Structure 1
Amino acid sequence: MNGVLRELVARGGGVVTRTGVQQVVPRWILQRACGTGDLVRVLPGVFVAAHLLARGPQQVPALNRLDPFVARRAVCAWTRGRAAFSHLTALELWGLRRPADGEPLHLSVPFDSGLRGQPGARVHRRRGFTVEPPQVVVRQGHPVTRVEQALVDSWPMLSPAERREPIIRAVNARLTTPKRMASTLRAASTLPDRAALCMLLTLLAEGCRSPLEIWGHEHVFVGPGMPAFERQVRITVGRRTMYLDLFAEREQVNIELDGATTHGDPRQREIDLRRDALLATIGIQVVRFAHRRLINEPDTVRRETLAILAARRPAAAHQG
């Protein structure tokens, strides 16, 4: 490869544009570098050093065989400020999801931008969209759509089993709130399976903070005999503040839903026991149900819960 071109490629982190190259060397030098296989065209007017491409089937676009950071830089060089990463790619940049192998990069552009989709890059044209705040922010050095918009846009692209996790993670990480999500959803009146997303946002607004809590709400801790549990109730005992998964105030019972991973840790178990003992000092009984039992024995868990609540009611009434 020509020495000047090699230096230009190095300075660009392996990415160069036709416009940038032709400002310093003749066009034929770029053509020869492509002909010898030193550079590979990945997008119109954008080239990368061939050694950066991973091996893969010929049908896989060159853009998808690059490291994600390099691929995003190549896309930004192509769009020149006329697009923002969106949909599933935005979820990656917000730290809410890992992309699947071979997944295209998603971009949102103004309706009249003139950009069209390319192999490995899917373009979504939007009316009223501008590549500037408040619709677009910068994440990891790249323009990206707001987290609420990215989550709503991605909802129909994910399988039913995958859809909830990014939204729950975003709310728990305080990247957004159920209220802001609901506001964005109102503008997406034709979103596929919109009702399911509305229900999820309702549960999150009521205090559910994990897939397990949502499972319990939908399948176990509702219906005849069940009280109107309060979720994520803040309790302070001494200097310690705790949040209760499901709290029945009248019965002074706290139902804790133990996840499949963290609660298998002996250290976490010790923390839980100390927490339960502390709550007992103020009259709150803690009842824990493991992930396995909630999923495999929902009817049994429900019966046990109703029995515990019934046993606590006379004591609660006497104390009152």
Structure 2
Amino acid sequence: MSQALTAGPAPRARRGWRREDKLWGMFFVAPQTLGMLLFTLLPFLAAFVLAFTSWNGFGTPEWVGLENFRDQLTSPLLGRAIVNTLVIAVVTVPIGLFLAIITAVVLNKIRGRAVYMVMFFAPVVTSSVAIAMIWQQLLRQDGVVSGVLSRLFGIAPIDWLGHPWLALMAVCLVTVWSSLGLNVVIFMAGLQSISPAVLEAAAIDGAGPVRRFFKVVLPLLSPIVFYQSVIAFISSLQTFDLVFVLVHNAGPDNGTRTIVYHIYDLGFAQSQFGLSSAASIVLLALTLLITAAQFGAQKKFVHYEA
């Protein structure tokens, strides 16, 4: 009986301690949860509702139904923005990932690679506005790049930022350069996780460096390649700051007008928040469509270890 009396309070104490743990857990999670609600969920819901209204930022929004979507889906500017954004994504993602993998493979075989990794990673932690302003000076018609090419090939200085197509390629160049470091670091981590025994076995079987790369290294890195491609595509679809600073807003003849800049221009430059919200929903649908296509295609090239 004495044992029963002494054993009784223990479960109550444990239950009370668990409740206290839950309260502390809720306390520490609350800031992040409130931030997500205030700065992510509520703005998304507000944009979704505004997409069906006409509102200039003042007064009461007027319900217009699907009129904003009809306007945007037939808008030449949105069509140009979608094409430009897809060009940036299609150009920068494959080139950026390929260069990152090659750079990671080279760095993985040399000493003092930590110094080079810091150099490659520096643009990642640098303000995108600062990067755009530096490259803006380099790519001017009287800048360093045009001057060097002019002296080497005897051609007239090129106005990289004054031509629609060249300006779009300049955005792609800066995007690849600024994102290379992060991809290199991630691929370096993936390379170092590959067992040397696997590579040695392939070498013993007669596989050369190139064959080992394509038949062993690349398949083992395919989950990382897939993950980085999804993230890179989403990031490319959200290109804004480089366009806004590097080529002064939408560039010549809207040659660098992206979807996010189009959303900004409608909302904050023209005060047409209904049209801006509708364009943002179009961007969301395009992002989901491309991401779903990538997940559907992963079965053909992504190899997960058993």
What TM-score does the superposition give when structure 2 sets the normalisation length? 0.20
What TM-score does the superposition give when structure 1 sets the normalisation length? 0.20
Q: Which has the larger share of strand?
A: 1
Structure with more relative contact order (C-alpha pairs < 8 Å, separation 6 or more): 2
